[in-house]
Chain A
Amino acid sequence: MLSFDLHKRKLLTVFLLLIFIWSLLGIHWGPELFHTGGMATAGQVFAAMLQPDFSAEIVALGIESSWITLAYATAGMSLALILALLFGILGSGVLASGKRSRTFMKGTFRGILGFMRAIHELVWALFFVASFGLSPFAAVFALAIPYGGILGRIFADMLNDVPDEPIEALRASGASRLQCLLYGYLPAVKASMISYSMYRFECAVRSSAIMSFVGLGGLGYQIQLSLNDLNYHEVWSFMYFLIVLVVLIDGWSTMLRKRISI
């Protein structure tokens, strides 16, 4: 059995390597891959990395943009949590009474969750901007939908993993499905839900930063503007703001997750 497993692993590794080589064949390798002067630009970009522009004006702008990025991320995430709770609970099927209605509910709502997260937040943003125009809500909704999908799927999985005994006991003492949710399922998964949401919050900040690409403000917008001006020093200043913001959120969420007892 063990040797068979080892064999399988080797087979998979070789297979993956072959696919990688196939993918490399998709490119005509040669110097025409670069822009003329592309290497020089690369040098300039890297040189600028060590000399970011931290003038008062840029710092003020950086702080403001960081706040916009964080605000969109937080607003989007809070909406995503509501969506995730709603669809996650429905998609776990714990509210369904019969076996068939459970399968039906699971299928339907997990399908919806799958669709929500299959499309990237930026594509959602493009759609919202195309249909509703430039509005902060476009950013918030565009974040909320895919993150709702990702969180909702995980929430549904967590709810499905709750042990049966306490739930059966609650049913036996006369609790309805909704009451079982309140007294059994939700308390059991609360800590893991918070923990996972915290982890996703960091990703939401990064996603929020790129919302600027469709014309919605924030750090990404400033990076794009500076890139258009070929001002690499400024580019890196805003990059550092983004890095600090992400590292801070990451640190906070790691600290929190360590303290939440599951």
Chain B
Amino acid sequence: MSKNNIIEVNQISKHYERKIALSSLSFVVEKGEMVALIGPSGAGKTTLLNTLAAIIEPDSGEILIDGLDLRKITNQKTRARKIGIIRQQFDLVGQLAVIHNVLAGRLSEWGFVKSFISLLFPQDKQTAISALERVGLPDKTYERTSKLSGGEQQRVALARLLVQRPEIILADEPVASLDPARAEDILETLTRLAREEGQTVIASLHSVEYAKRYFTRLIALKNGEILFDLPVEKVTDELLKELYQLKELDQNALV
């Protein structure tokens, strides 16, 4: 076991009723890797990410985070320091001002009283403002989050991750509801910031093109199994064709 292995997945399986969502998957992710999960919808990408985030418990197998069994990290606050999650833009509380949504990343470190006071007089304001500057939203600090556009909201979610500073970022279709220009922007920011912070990223993506451009390693899932797990430069068109065949040729996914 190399010291650099931040995630070790050993033989995890998950069944839903009659359907097999994950069938004994194993892989290892090293610290600082940028991994993209690809595959047709229903292949188990979201289930895998939710399992890694401890939202779903696998039927069998184990997950080691930094050498620790994920099931043993029951404390929400400890877990939050290891793993951060970003999804589609519904993750923010629309009625709160942007700064509070960003500072929510601090909640694992704050007690109840401090978090209450912060709603009236924002605490650690500089941290939040510099995080917003880094994601390119310096002037929206006190706006109502629901007034922001989809792309801007996703930047706020990134700023929250910057404040939370987890070692691993799990991104579940982070750009699913954004137009192409915004999507590239967000992915670029996400991977850049993660590199700067030395974080590990696992992201599920619909688009192979984005996966190839912004990530270093692709894990392809099909019917709950790993079809291939390769550095991005070794992924060939034949492999991709095999991954998406049977499904009617999804133009967007193949371009």
**Chain A contacts to B: CB under 8 angstroms:** 163, 165-166, 168-176, 178-179, 182-184, 187-188, 190-191
Contacts and interface: CB of A to CB of B under 8 A. Distances in A.
Contacts of A174: 76-77, 79-81, 107-109, 164
A188 B146 CA distance: 11
Nearest to A177: B76
Interface of B: 53, 55, 76-77, 79-81, 83-85, 87, 90-96, 100, 104-105, 107-110, 112, 115-116, 119, 157, 160, 164
B55 A169 contact: no
Contact of A170 (B104, B110, B119): B104
A183 B55 contact: no
Contacts of A175: 76, 104, 107-108, 115
Looking at chain A's contact residues, the main secondary structure is: helix
Q: Which of B81, B95, B115 has the most CB of A within 10 A?
A: B95
Given A174-B76, A179-B115, A169 B95 contact: no
A184 B115 CA distance: 12
Given A169-B87, A182-B116, 19 more contacts: A165-B90, A166-B94, A169-B85, A170-B93, A172-B55, A172-B85, A173-B164, A174-B77, A174-B80, A174-B109, A176-B77, A176-B112, A179-B115, A182-B115, A182-B119, A183-B100, A183-B107, A183-B115, A187-B93
Contacts of B104: 170, 173, 175, 183
B162 to A, nearest CB: 11
A94 to B, nearest CB: 14
Contacts of B112: 176, 178-179, 182
Given A172-B53, A182-B119, A187 B110 contact: no
Given A174-B77, A175-B108, A190 B53 contact: no
Q: Which of B79, B83, B107, B116 has the most CB of A within 10 A?
A: B107
Nearest to A172: B85
A188 B95 contact: yes
B76 A165 contact: no
21 contacts: A163-B90, A165-B87, A166-B94, A168-B91, A169-B157, A170-B93, A170-B107, A172-B83, A172-B84, A173-B80, A173-B85, A174-B79, A175-B104, A176-B112, A179-B110, A179-B112, A183-B107, A183-B119, A187-B93, A187-B95, A187-B100
